[in-house]
Amino acid sequence: MKIEIAPFNSSLYKQALTLRNHVLLKPWNLVFTPTELEEEKNQVHIVAVEEGEVLGVVILKELDSSTVKMRQLAVKEKDRGQGIGSELVAFFEEYALENGYTQIELHARERAVRFYTQLDYERIGEVFKEVTLNHYKMVKNLE
């Protein structure tokens, strides 16, 4: 398994989009809007790939010169529990540091809070609704 950056609109990007749709949207009858997808051309698409198959994905979006948002982390159901999610987060953090960012923010679905806590992300603030689901804001300082 290799972790790499998929160029926007490449075939790896499209596979990752299918995976995100399947894991993060479809179960809740959500869809990507054209505007959301258009904005993704300015974001970094990190994928876990094995023999041409995308097993996991995470996206880096710049918020300001020091802060990035971690979004759309998803691993194929059959491949969970093998460290792929943690490896994607580690790659994301390394990429962020190498590119001069010092702070990571994310909106964690309630069920994923434990996963991020294990990776030293800190929950801040109260629960809030996003795409109909309970979420918590979480942050990690890389300095």
Q: What is the contact surface with ligand COA in residues (CB under 6 A)?
A: 23-24, 73-75, 80-86, 108-109, 111-112, 114-115, 118
Separation of alpha carbons 123 and 32, rounded Å: 27
- Torsion (CA) 33, 27, 61, 70 in degrees, nearest 10: 170
Closest CB to ligand COA: residue number? 85
What secondary structure, in 3-state letters, does the chain show? CEEEEECCCCHHHHHHHHHHHHHHHHHHCCCCCHHHHHHHHHCEEEEEEECCEEEEEEEEEECCCCEEEEEEEEECHHHCCCCHHHHHHHHHHHHHHHCCCCEEEEEEEHHHHHHHHHCCCEEEEEEEEECCEEEEEEEEECC
Structure-token pair, residue 139: 């942050």
Smallest separation (angstroms) from ligand COA to the CB of 6: 17
Pick the closer one to ligand COA by CB: 9 or 118. 118
Smallest separation (angstroms) from ligand COA to the CB of 21: 12
Pick the closer one to ligand COA by CB: 44 or 59. 59
Pick the closer one to ligand COA by CB: 25 or 65. 25
Pick the closer one to ligand COA by CB: 2 or 143. 2
Pick the closer one to ligand COA by CB: 80 or 123. 80
Smallest separation (angstroms) from ligand COA to the CB of 57: 9
Smallest separation (angstroms) from ligand COA to the CB of 2: 15
Smallest separation (angstroms) from ligand COA to the CB of 78: 10
